[in-house]
Amino acid sequence: MPSPEASRPLTAPAEHPHRGAGAAAEQADSSGQLAEQLLRLTRRLHHAQKQAFRPLGLTPAQSRLLRTVGSHTQRGEAPRMADLARHLEVVPRAVTTLVDALEELGAVRRAQDPANRRVVLIELTDEGRAMLRELRRARQSAAEDILEPLTEEQRTQLGGLLSTLVDRPENHC
Closest CA to 50 of 67, 63, 37: 63
**What global pTM score does this model have?**
0.70
Q: Please, what is the average pLDDT of the chain?
A: 84
Closest CA to 33 of 10, 15, 17: 10
What pLDDT, on a 0 to 100 scale, did the predictor assign at position 86?
94
Query: Which of 46-55, 65-74, 146-155, 156-165 shows the lowest mean pLDDT across its residues?
Result: 46-55
- How do residues 43-101 score in pLDDT, each as one tens digit? 998 888 888 888 888 888 999 999 999 999 999 999 999 999 999 999 999 999 999 99
